Structure 1
Amino acid sequence: MDLRNIAIIAHVDHGKTTLVDKLLSQSGAFRENQAVAERAMDNNDIERERGITILAKCTSVEWKGTRINIVDTPGHADFGGEVERILSMVDGVCLLVDAAEGPMPQTKFVCSKALALGLKPIVVLNKVDKPAAEPDRALDQVFDLFANLGADDEQLDFPHVYASGIGGWADNVLDGPRENLDALFDLIVDHVKTPKQVERADEPFQMLATTLGADPFIGRILTGRVEAGRVKVGDSVKALSRKGDKIEQFRITKILAFRGLSQQPIEEAEAGDIVSIAGMTKATVADTICALDVDKAIDAQPIDPPTISVTFSINDSPLAGKDGSKVQSRIIRERLLKEAETNVAIRVEDTPGGEAFVVSGRGELQMGVLIENMRREGFELSISRPRVIFREENGVRMEPIEEVIIDVDDEYSGVVIEKLTGHRKGDLAEMRPAGVGKTRIVAHVPSRGLIGYQGEFMTDTRGNGVLNRIFHDWAPYKGPISGRRQGVLISMENGTSVSYALWKLEDRGKFFIGAQEAVYQGMILGEHNRDNDLEINPLKGKQLTNVRASGTDEAVRLTTPVRMSLEEAIAYIDDDELVEVTPKAVRLRKRYLDPHERKRMAKVEA
């Protein structure tokens, strides 16, 4: 069968996964009576809850005698490691752009990777049926984006269609019949080339592993595109590292091909196809699986380095071990190393004492998803404030700079610009109208300045602003940036919080806990109104006497406490604070710093 390999790339929430649903449905991948969940490719619990794609996933459809392998990729730059690996498996990309929003930061990120590999894009102007859609403006912005990213003439001469993913239609003209996705299917078959690997079908077998998975029945599974030759179930092959060193020799026990939403066992895989193989025990991502007489490894696409680090350690609070079952540092270390093996954008390093682990990655969201997965598996952890990773260039200390694109109501643009350029050492790059009553602000801000800014931004814009950010460049260190301005309210007792005590303390600040919750000495209960920390007693009950007085029977009505999500808590804490994460709770607390640690942190800040 004729073959095409294509990846669908886009910014967060521009409709990739919804479009894939419709492609599968209209190609006949589902039975008429088959029950299929919405956003079927997002099969991870966290993906469904948050409405974002985190893991790249493959599927395939058949269209007029051609098999089209489709890769659904994450839209968020924090999961860019997935995108960078996946693009090496395909021969074309389908770029989805919201016709109202136009190209956004993550669009720029994934496009730069695709264009650098020489892939020719197909542009799908999605959501053209929205009232605010401006498809012509979005198309012009896509062309400008490609030109700025260094696209060649062939890549700039890209075809495009107008579509509605949720409506299930795509047309070559804006006022087309809007019936189905036939125009997009035909465009993929005509525009994307047959994999050049097909011409190498008679050479010895070679395959570059791009994703790693596991199955309870068949064990370790590696997925990738067959770069040359053929391979059958039962063949003996070997795995080579990036440097060409032999890792292991094994017999292939299973070959799985993507057919719709499922994987089906096949007897033989041919050059150009995307398949999964089983039978190995050590081989991992970026290794070359090849015939026994092949000695050279396939070059793996380099991955961008991490930009932030977070310290994971055991939960040593007084409430440790009450919720989770996995509390030992040894088990935490094993889990983190397992994650680093499958996620090439993450690095794990041991600290000198061996009780804590420094995990480096792309951003706060990536760290938050990893921690959320671990807490659901029964882990208890203590998490430090994220730290930016610096590097030296010619004796100059360099720090990562991010491009921030903000869409906000006109009345709030002043306070946003003041916060970004004043307090957070950013540079304003662009400011222009973005629709009726809206302003688009583009700024280049140090990554340090954006840690913890999301919550402050939502407060400043009354929840109406939209903030997107992506790594831009490295720049010389811009000097100290002030962190959180408010102090915190700290418990001075162990026990259970009392309504009366919290009610009497409400004028000191806002609380993160309610009544009848377990507290302990050093636990952060809320945010102080002033810039200093304040120790309070949340256990102090009402003094009972036999004398009645005015106000004695006054009703206690507590203000609803502020409940932080995991990412908000990690971004909120200061350097001398920790987030305590258990399967049932997210708490904030102060941590004890020995003199050596205090000295080291002071040196880092300086």
Structure 2
Amino acid sequence: MPENFIRNFSIIAHIDAGKSTLADRLLEITGTISADKIVPQLLDSNPIERERGITIKLAPVTMNYQGYTLNLIDTPGHVDFNYEVERALQACEGAILLVDATKGVQAQTVANLRLAKNLGLKIIPVVNKIDAPLSDVAAATRQVKQLLSITQEPLLVSAKTGEGVEELLQQVISDLPAPETVTGDLKAFVFNSTFDTHLGVVAFIKLISGELKTNDKLEFINSGQSVSASEIGIFSPVRTEKKTLQAGNVGYIITGLKDIRRILVGDTLCLASQAKNAIPLPGFRKIHPNVYLDIYPAEGNQYQDLVDALEKLKLDQLTHSWSRSQSRFFGAASLGSRRRKIGQGI
């Protein structure tokens, strides 16, 4: 698919604005998933995500619509997941700014918009939940226009019923720019990774230049980690294997690694044979924890269960680390450094 027919975009909003529901409608209308097979919050594969109604782990999905390839990266809206939003937006050229018609512009709406603007993304303003009993479409519309300093009306949609969503897809195609690619050797941006018990670490990438093929010998420039691309492909929304990936597209690489810390988010991927002379993409920085917690089991005989749970969590969390500590009041404890959501989820 030529890059002129590719659109990479994200959905940014405050928590509970309807991002995951809108993603469900996009999947349905584009025919990526049939209506009888779709389940609420399809891209939120983590049970905690569905239980709490929030998005934690980024779930990229490729949709084909009217001859175009639409790569959607659904992002978290909660304040605790700001870094996930930032690195997802780095893989996009545009973003849908989704505002809840019942609540208007909220704090995280502004924060996410600032991230998108700093990255130079094209913004499509959308007011959601126009069918809700408590909606105030006029007030939400006014706030969006003030926030963006625009005169044109934002698009009005109901992600729940699908009203206005087809018009939104048309606007994504017409208003968002195609990805900017460069001629040259393979370079890809790593915007996320996850751990699969059977496959090992799966890296989510956006190709900036060149072509990626199955079994290519690769190297991550900043970390120096070498891997072989045992499988590459796209999410549609399930893993779909491909023989090649072209510049401008979003996809995945199965690395076979057993430690997720060997893949650094924001790193640059290139062919191993070209790593010595390759220049990394700008903007890379290491993730550092910003919340530190002491965690004690309710019962002393549950300590090993806690340790086992933390070890499993560490497989899929780049920012999570822990060590044992001792308290004269509580006995053995696990000292963790992580973001707040991990501590709350245990």
- Is TM (by shorter chain) over 0.5? yes
Contact 2:24-2:38 at 8 Å conserved across structures = no
Provide the residue aligned with 2:305 in structure 1.
326
CA distance in 2, matches of 1:264, 1:336: 26
TM-superposition CA deviations, 1:50-90 (whole Å, max 9, x none): 12222221112221100111111111111112101100001
Contact 2:195-2:316 at 8 Å conserved across structures = no
Find the residue that maps to 2:301 and give its secondary structure: coil
Flag structure 2 segments of 5+ consecutive residues without an equivalent.
none
1:311 to 282, 290, 293: 293
Q: TM-score, normalised by structure 2?
A: 0.86
Provide the residue aligned with 1:212 in structure 2.
193
Q: What amino acid is the match of 1:210?
A: F
Provide the residue aligned with 2:32 in structure 1.
29
Q: What amino acid is the match of 1:12?
A: I
> Is 2:72 the counterpart of 1:70?
yes
CA distance in 2, matches of 1:159, 1:70: 24
2:343 to 347, 368, 371: 371
Contact 2:55-2:76 at 8 Å conserved across structures = yes
Provide the residue aligned with 2:248 in structure 1.
272
Report how far residue 136 of structure 1 moved.
3.1
How many corresponding residue pairs? 332
CA distance in 2, matches of 1:84, 1:195: 17
Find the residue that maps to 1:196 and give its secondary structure: coil
Find the residue that maps to 1:184 and give its secondary structure: helix
Distance 1:157 1:89, change over 3 A: farther
Find the residue that maps to 2:300 and give its secondary structure: coil
Distance 1:275 1:125, change over 3 A: same
Report how far residue 305 of structure 1 moved.
7.2
Provide the residue aligned with 1:164 in structure 2.
158
Provide the residue aligned with 1:93 in structure 2.
95
Q: TM-score, normalised by structure 1?
A: 0.51
Flag structure 1 segments of 5+ consecutive residues without an equivalent.
148-155, 171-180, 362-366, 375-606
Q: What amino acid is the match of 2:163?
A: W
TM-superposition CA deviations, 1:196-233 (whole Å, max 9, x none): 12xx2x41111121111122332211002111111100
> Is 2:238 the counterpart of 1:238?
no
Report how far residue 301 of structure 1 moved.
5.5
> Is 2:15 the counterpart of 1:12?
yes
1:254 to 231, 244, 248: 231
| Identical aligned residues as a percent | 26
Provide the residue aligned with 1:541 in structure 2.
none
CA distance in 2, matches of 1:141, 1:8: 18
Contact 2:193-2:263 at 8 Å conserved across structures = no
Contact 2:8-2:71 at 8 Å conserved across structures = yes
TM-superposition CA deviations, 1:472-531 (whole Å, max 9, x none): xxxxxxxxxxxxxxxxxxxxxxxxxxxxxxxxxxxxxxxxxxxxxxxxxxxxxxxxxxxx
Report how far residue 286 of structure 1 moved.
2.4
- Which one has more relative contact order, counting CA pairs under 8 Å at least 6 apart? 2
CA distance in 2, matches of 1:121, 1:158: 13
* Residues 87-236 of structure 1: pairs in structure 2 closer than 5 A: 87-146=89-148, 156=150, 160-170=154-164, 181-197=165-181, 200=182, 202-236=183-217
Q: What amino acid is the match of 1:91?
A: E
1:80 to 70, 79, 82: 82
TM-superposition CA deviations, 1:124-167 (whole Å, max 9, x none): 111122344332322221233335xxxxxxxx577721111111
